[in-house]
Structure 1
Amino acid sequence: MTTDAYFAEFAASLRAARVPEEQIAATVEDLRAHLAETGTAPEEEFGPAAAFAAQLGGLAPEPGEPDERAESWTWTADFFNDRRMLAVHGDQGWEVESLDAIGRFVCRRTPGSALRWEYRREVIAGRRRGRVFDELTPEGWELCGEWLVYGYFKRPRAATAGPAGTVGAPPATPQRWLFLSRRGKAVLAVWGALVGGALAAFFVGVLGTGGLAITVALASMVSAAWTSRLETATGRARQKADHG
């Protein structure tokens, strides 16, 4: 079977399952790009076209028509732990749809047609934003949320992993919603100690309302500065390891 014939059958299978045309076109484009890089035949790389189409979400809902079977879950993590947890949860089929007003990841997953997702976090402040989008968009990365100076990007693993990019038997929705690293817990403990001391001083009359507000603000600044320093050190260590 030629490549064109393979993708014609693949697209027809997705179309029969009522997958939107724009989603079909984007998926075919991503898969063709993957084959161009690997130099392999589509049937060898992905398996039979119809079966592969079924694995990739033939049950995906049309825009504006949410699937009633879809699971929803919202969670958060600190800056030292977010990328690791995104990798863990993406491998379980959780797709980040957005970040809410307090920086939590709002996710969904459809049983029976869940894809594995991969994520990355990039600084997109200022003029760097355009450069990041120019680099990542051709590789299939899509912005799924922003928080402070960071942008979070996602793409389905099926575009690079083939059939291995789907989730056979996804685990149950986690009961937890907060995932803190040891460093994150340390920062939170420092903030809690400073604020707790300020509250105690306020209630015994040592601090007034203004003093309490200033102390809480300073505690937040100290915690943020420490977080930034630790995050920078972690990033440099990771960069050194990647190029080491």
Structure 2
Amino acid sequence: MNTEPDTYFDELATALRATGVPAEQITATVSELRGHLADAGSSPEEEFGPAARFAARLGGTAPTAAEPDGGAETWLWTADIYNDRRLLAHYGDQGWEVEGLDGLGRFRCRRVPGAALRWEYRRELISGKRRAEALDRLTPEGWEMCGEWTVYAYFKRPKAASEGPAGALDTLPARPGRWLFLSRKGKALLAVWAVLVAAMVTVVFFGALDLPPLTVVFAALFGLAGGLIGLKRDAAKGCQG
């Protein structure tokens, strides 16, 4: 059994490269694990297990002819900007890895029983020059962009990179039965927008309220635009509901 940390982490890095993990993420992961090992005061094998097996858990097991991926779970869900990060943290702790966002803004998630890890997520504004700045700042820390929606980007990394063995999962909760998660503020905004659209349709098509149709149309559009601006400001402030 190998007990030399340098040899162990060299083997781990080689195994992670073989699973397709980016070099920057490998460097950050190995650095975090070295720090954890120094605090633990034990050997690498005692703390993490064999290097090849631990690398498979960190990098995700790829399906092979001998080991088909038929047991993988998938899940599509969405949330508003007031509760997306809270829910990503919650379900990331249950082993759900975000692989991207679809055209409707739903998170495409996947987990493999027996090889699932805990995941951590963060959301960044990427409008203008913020995109390059966010990538330069987060990539060396092991963060990987896993989806974009309008002016926002979502990043992920396995919790094993920051928590060592605590980032692994032994049991998996059942897949949630819901796909739509709206906060109280999100529901209120949707209700306001629905009222504005209904008023616009009523005036334009039924001539109600004795107001010029263009006046109502512009008022409704102004209200919708104001709501969108408010959403963007809340996201920039990091609001959660």
- How far has the Cα of 1:163 moved from its partner? 1.9
Task: Go from structure 1 to structure 2 and tell me whether the alpha carbon gap of 1:94 and 1:230 turns closer, same or farther (over 3 Å shift).
Answer: same
Task: Go from structure 1 to structure 2 and tell me whether the alpha carbon gap of 1:190 and 1:22 turns closer, same or farther (over 3 Å shift).
Answer: same
Residue 226 of structure 1 is aligned with which of 218, 225, 230? 230
Matched residue of 2:128: which SS? coil
Is 2:156 the counterpart of 1:154? yes
Structure 2 CA distance for aligned equivalents of residues 182 and 192 of structure 1:
15
Matched residue of 1:61: which SS? coil
1:194 is matched with 196
- Superposed, which structure 2 residues align to 1:1-244 within 5 Å? 1-7=3-9, 10=12, 20-23=18-21, 29-38=27-36, 40=38, 41-43=43-45, 45-49=47-51, 52-53=54-55, 55-56=57-58, 59-61=61-63, 67-206=69-208, 214=218, 217-232=221-236, 235=239
Q: TM-score, normalized by length of structure 1?
A: 0.78
Task: Go from structure 1 to structure 2 and tell me whether the alpha carbon gap of 1:222 and 1:143 turns closer, same or farther (over 3 Å shift).
Answer: same
Structure 2 CA distance for aligned equivalents of residues 83 and 209 of structure 1:
40
Contact 1:119 1:153 in 2 (8 A): yes
Structure 2 unaligned residues grouped into runs of 5+: none
Task: Go from structure 1 to structure 2 and tell me whether the alpha carbon gap of 1:125 and 1:11 turns closer, same or farther (over 3 Å shift).
Answer: closer
Q: Given residue 139 of structure 2, which amino acid in structure 1 is its aligned partner? A: T
Q: What do you get for the CA RMSD once the two structures are aligned?
A: 3.3
Structure 2 CA distance for aligned equivalents of residues 195 and 152 of structure 1:
31
Deviations 1:110-143 (A, max 9, x none): 1111111100011122222222111100100001
Q: Which has the higher contact order (CA 8 A, sep 6+)?
A: 2
Query: Identical aligned pairs, as a percentage?
Result: 52
Q: TM-score, normalized by length of structure 2?
A: 0.78
Task: Go from structure 1 to structure 2 and tell me whether the alpha carbon gap of 1:11 and 1:138 turns closer, same or farther (over 3 Å shift).
Answer: closer
